[in-house]
């Protein structure tokens, strides 16, 4: 059953539990020759060596978990093999599957008790064995035994021989999967309708409310009447309003560029002041990745996640798939079988509309056991120290800090002009603008990945909106409206940028459509928005969301008006052209946009060694015109297909994990 070296009794050919691997303080714990935990001591007779069992015992004491968990975490023995050994030791039949017709200790009525029931599956410390015997009467039960109570099992079975015949030994995973299957209807309902049931005012299920439709109808009627009376007045007013939002974005980027020195010094100061948690203090982390048609990414993804500097005993990796994505499911199952890491799990989401990433994340959130939750994408390669930095930051900052955004950095910027501009854009956003907002305790729209959350607060505010196709921006604003703050990290996540225009366009269309949805949701009650965020926060909302939408939509129009005035007035000389106030206003607006973005990018690109891309800032006008195409395409999609998620495909090869 186990491949081992008979001369030393240690596991060869699989991940041996190293005395120093991920456990720098292990030497401080004294272990005597006979100090092997009860729940794994019996494994000596099944081929595991004493050094391995002693190491697992030390780690268990250090992390305050069972030695069996520590032993399995690093692949010294698989979960299935451990349960099989337990079955042999107890002389009870073993099974590696718990059907829905078999009781996994007890039946779970709804997802609210899922984690409590899963804990009861794992340990019987809180339950009297005689009580269990009474509940088992007449039913077949699959039991994942807690072998710390090994000395109690023999007299128990002697007292209740009828119970032993109805018990099958199985794994914690098998029983947990059985519980999930029983609850999948409730889990799915909560994933799709949870936010709408809990906080209906923040759900994007309805794209536009009746009140908003009436206001827009009256506004358009008013504009039409005024245009009929005086078209010049409408033209001037429209220019003024559009350019105001545009100039607001210019001012925000310029301020962020000027603040980079202050933000950087503050980050360095915090880094020096932060107390580094030792391994025994680390919280449990849930790492969640929503996947769809990503079978080619699975091996590289898991390899990258296993490199994270975090003890396996204190983490779980949940790979979330739609039930019809058989290729990705098969790839994940093959990796899990090959790696023998019990902290990696496959979560299959039953079919339901909408087919979106946030729905899948909501489904998985109900199954997370961690104190903290981090979300990654299939192509992500996070810095190995990212979880450490996030946990230290959470512990140091005030209790209202509930989310940390790691910077996203593009590794394939050399492949095409689009990927170069993408890298510049991400540098300005994640290394410049967002840290500035976080430093000033202002609301910020999250990026779609590498978000670290306090799980309890994430659940409290309703999780993600399954109907919003840019769920990250909405969630960031919703957290701020609930009175919580968001911070940023410096440890990056490497990502891939699309290099083909058609793929880039679909991705950007979805982003703009989601920003439209976010604006419509949070502007249902504008007065409440100001009350929740305060004046400064509401201003940032409009600069970041409204300004981003308006500037992208009007950018080609401003260019058209500038070109038209120059073309039609060339015969009258430049003096006549430059005397037109609207022309000057538009020219300043456009040039201000280019210059402020370039200034911010030039301040941030050296952080990721991207300064060699500076020359490509000269092509910024072309890139922004493409963004405008995506924005106008998003308007059409918002009307015709508001909740459709246009998938961004990823390729096989990736860069290695980043380092901070």
pLDDT of residue 114: 38
CA 561 – CA 546 distance, rounded (Å): 22
Q: Minimum mean pLDDT among 79-88, 386-395, 439-448, 583-592: which range?
A: 583-592
**Are 228 and 129 in the same domain?**
no
Is 271 or 253 the better-scoring residue by pLDDT?
253
Calculate helix-pair angle for 172-198, 357-365, nearest 10 degrees.
Answer: 120
**Are 313 and 230 in the same domain?**
yes
Assess whether pLDDT exceeds 50 at residue 654: no
Assess whether pLDDT exceeds 50 at residue 123: no
Domain end marker among 32, 59, 77 = 77
**Are 189 and 212 in the same domain?**
no
Closest by Cα among 327, 315, 310, 314 to 288 = 315
Assess whether pLDDT exceeds 70 at residue 33: no
**Are 468 and 568 in the same domain?**
yes
CA 355 – CA 467 distance, rounded (Å): 9
pLDDT of residue 660: 44
- Asked whether residue 84 is domain-assigned, the answer is no
Alpha carbon 197 to chain centroid, angstroms:
23
Q: What angle do CA 248, 251, 252 make, to 5 degrees?
A: 90
- Asked whether residue 98 is domain-assigned, the answer is no
CA 153 – CA 42 distance, rounded (Å): 14
Assess whether pLDDT exceeds 80 at residue 224: no
- What would the pLDDT profile of 55-67 be if each residue is shown by its tens digit? 999 999 999 888 9
Q: What DSSP string describes 359-382?
A: HHHHHHHTT---SEEEEE-TT-EE
pLDDT of residue 156: 72
Q: How many helices (H) and strands (E) does the chain have?
A: 25, 14
CATH number at residue 291: 3.90.550.10
Q: What is the CA radius of gyration of the chain?
A: 29
Assess whether pLDDT exceeds 90 at residue 413: yes
pLDDT of residue 237: 72
pLDDT of residue 240: 74
Question: What is the arithmetic mean of pLDDT over 344-349?
Answer: 96
pLDDT of residue 102: 66
**Are 191 and 253 in the same domain?**
no
**Are 536 and 593 in the same domain?**
yes
**SS3 category, 635:** helix
Is residue 58 within 8 Å of residue 24, measured between CB atoms? Answer: no
Q: Minimum mean pLDDT among 44-58, 160-174, 178-192, 429-443: which range?
A: 160-174
pLDDT of residue 216: 80
Calculate helix-pair angle for 231-273, 386-396, nearest 10 degrees.
Answer: 90
Domain range for 453 is 199-660
- What would the pLDDT profile of 170-218 be if each residue is shown by its tens digit? 888 888 888 888 888 999 999 999 999 999 999 999 989 888 888 888 8
CA 79 – CA 75 distance, rounded (Å): 9
Is residue 40 within 8 Å of residue 57, measured between CB atoms? Answer: yes
**Are 214 and 246 in the same domain?**
yes
- Asked whether residue 468 is domain-assigned, the answer is yes
Is 77 or 33 the better-scoring residue by pLDDT?
77
Whole-number percent of the chain with pLDDT over 90: 57
- Asked whether residue 105 is domain-assigned, the answer is no
**Are 550 and 514 in the same domain?**
yes
Is residue 173 within 8 Å of residue 200, measured between CB atoms? Answer: no
pLDDT of residue 25: 33
Whole-number percent of the chain with pLDDT over 70: 83
**Are 55 and 134 in the same domain?**
no
pLDDT of residue 32: 42
Assess whether pLDDT exceeds 80 at residue 101: no
pLDDT of residue 16: 37
- Asked whether residue 54 is domain-assigned, the answer is yes
Averaged confidence pLDDT in the chain: 84
Assess whether pLDDT exceeds 70 at residue 169: yes
Q: Minimum mean pLDDT among 175-179, 457-461, 601-605: which range?
A: 175-179
Reported in sequence order, the residue ranges of 58-194 that DSSP labels E, i.e. its strands, are 141-143, 167-169
Domain end marker among 140, 169, 198 = 198
How many structural domains compose the chain? 3
Assess whether pLDDT exceeds 80 at residue 569: no
Closest by Cα among 91, 72, 90, 70 to 81 = 72
Closest by Cα among 399, 402, 371 to 115 = 371
Q: What residues does 401 pair with on adjacent strands? A: 485
Is residue 241 within 8 Å of residue 248, measured between CB atoms? Answer: no
How would you label 35-70 residue by residue, b for 16+ Cβ within 10 Å and e otherwise? Answer: ebbebbbbbeebbbbeebbbbbbbbbbbbebbbbbb
pLDDT of residue 340: 84
- What would the pLDDT profile of 464-515 be if each residue is shown by its tens digit? 999 999 999 999 999 999 999 999 999 999 999 999 999 999 999 999 999 9
Longest CA span, the chain = 108
pLDDT of residue 269: 78
Residue 136: pLDDT band with limits 50, 70, 90: low
Assess whether pLDDT exceeds 50 at residue 120: no
pLDDT of residue 149: 75
**Are 232 and 175 in the same domain?**
no
Residue 233: pLDDT band with limits 50, 70, 90: low
**Are 365 and 486 in the same domain?**
yes
- Asked whether residue 156 is domain-assigned, the answer is yes
Q: Minimum mean pLDDT among 317-321, 366-370, 395-399, 638-642: which range?
A: 395-399
Is 47 or 537 the better-scoring residue by pLDDT?
537
**SS3 category, 320:** strand
- Asked whether residue 89 is domain-assigned, the answer is no
Domain end marker among 169, 198, 227 = 198
CA 284 – CA 115 distance, rounded (Å): 14
- Asked whether residue 49 is domain-assigned, the answer is yes
Closest by Cα among 350, 500, 352 to 415 = 500
Alpha carbon 248 to chain centroid, angstroms:
30
What length is written for the chain?
A: 660
Is residue 436 within 8 Å of residue 360, measured between CB atoms? Answer: no
Is residue 467 within 8 Å of residue 204, measured between CB atoms? Answer: yes
**Are 510 and 574 in the same domain?**
yes
pLDDT of residue 11: 35
DSSP state of 351: P
Is residue 626 within 8 Å of residue 652, measured between CB atoms? Answer: no
């Amino acid at each position: 059953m186990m491949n081992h070296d008979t001369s030393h009794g240690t596991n060869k050919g699989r991940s041996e539990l190293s005395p120093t691997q991920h456990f720098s303080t292990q030497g401080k714990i004294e272990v005597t020759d006979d100090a092997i935990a009860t729940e794994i001591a019996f494994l000596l007779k099944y081929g595991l060596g004493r050094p391995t069992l002693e190491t697992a015992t030390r780690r268990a004491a250090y992390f305050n978990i069972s030695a069996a968990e520590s032993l399995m975490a690093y692949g010294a023995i698989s979960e299935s093999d451990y349960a099989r050994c337990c079955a042999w030791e107890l002389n009870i039949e073993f099974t590696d599957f718990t059907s829905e017709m078999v009781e996994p200790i007890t039946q779970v009525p709804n997802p609210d008790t899922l984690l409590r029931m899963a804990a009861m599956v794992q340990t019987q410390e809180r339950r009297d064995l005689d009580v269990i015997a009474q509940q088992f009467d007449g039913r077949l039960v699959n039991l994942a035994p807690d072998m710390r109570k090994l000395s109690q099992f023999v007299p128990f079975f002697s007292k209740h021989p009828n119970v032993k015949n109805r018990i099958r030994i199985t794994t914690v995973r098998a029983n947990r999967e059985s519980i999930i299957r029983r609850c999948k209807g409730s889990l799915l309902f909560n994933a799709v309708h949870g936010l709408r049931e809990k906080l209906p005012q923040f759900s994007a299920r309805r794209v536009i409310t009746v009140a908003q439709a009436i206001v827009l109808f009256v506004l358009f009627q008013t504009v039409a009447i005024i245009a009929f009376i005086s078209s010049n007045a409408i033209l001037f007013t429209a220019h003024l309003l559009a350019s105001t939002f545009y100039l607001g974005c210019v001012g925000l980027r310029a301020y962020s560029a000027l603040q980079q020195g202050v933000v950087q010094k503050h980050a360095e100061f915090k880094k020096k002041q932060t107390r580094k948690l030792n391994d025994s203090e680390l919280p449990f982390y849930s790492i969640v990745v929503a996947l769809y048609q990503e079978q080619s990414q699975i091996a590289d993804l898991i390899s990258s996640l296993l490199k994270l500097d975090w003890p396996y005993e204190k983490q779980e990796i949940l790979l979330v798939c739609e039930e019809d994505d058989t290729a990705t499911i098969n790839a994940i199952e093959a990796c899990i079988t090959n790696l023998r890491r019990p902290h990696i799990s496959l979560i299959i989401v039953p079919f339901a509309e909408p087919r979106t990433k946030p729905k899948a994340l909501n489904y998985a959130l109900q199954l997370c056991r961690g104190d903290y939750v981090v979300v990654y994408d299939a192509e992500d390669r996070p810095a190995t120290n990212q979880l450490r930095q996030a946990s230290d930051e959470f512990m140091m900052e005030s209790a209202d800090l509930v989310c940390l955004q790691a910077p996203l950095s593009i590794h394939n910027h050399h492949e095409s002009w689009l990927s170069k501009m993408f890298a510049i854009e991400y540098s300005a956003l994640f290394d410049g603008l967002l840290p500035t907002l976080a430093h000033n305790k202002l609301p910020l729209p999250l990026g779609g990945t590498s978000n670290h959350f306090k799980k309890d607060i994430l659940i409290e505010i309703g999780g993600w909106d399954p109907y919003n196709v840019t769920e990250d921006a909405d969630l960031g604003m919703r957290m701020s409206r609930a009175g919580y703050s968001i911070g940023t990290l410096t440890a990056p996540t490497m990502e891939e940028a699309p290099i083909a225009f058609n793929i880039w366009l679909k991705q950007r269309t979805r982003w703009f459509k989601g920003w439209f949805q976010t604006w419509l949701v949070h502007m249902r009650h504008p007065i409440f928005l100001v009350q929740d965020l305060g004046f400064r926060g509401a201003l940032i909302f409009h600069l970041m969301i409204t300004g981003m939408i308006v500037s992208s939509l009007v950018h080609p129009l401003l260019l058209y008006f500038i070109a038209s005035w120059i073309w039609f007035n060339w015969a009258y000389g430049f003096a006549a052209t430059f005397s037109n106030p609207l022309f000057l206003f538009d020219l300043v607006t456009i040039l201000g946009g280019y210059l402020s973005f370039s200034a911010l990018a030039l301040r941030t690109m050296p952080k990721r060694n991207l300064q060699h891309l500076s020359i490509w800032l000269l092509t910024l006008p072309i890139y922004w015109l493409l963004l405008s195409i995506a924005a106008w395409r998003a308007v059409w999609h918002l009307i015709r297909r508001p909740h459709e998620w246009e998938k961004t495909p990823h390729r096989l090869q990736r860069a290695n994990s980043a380092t901070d």
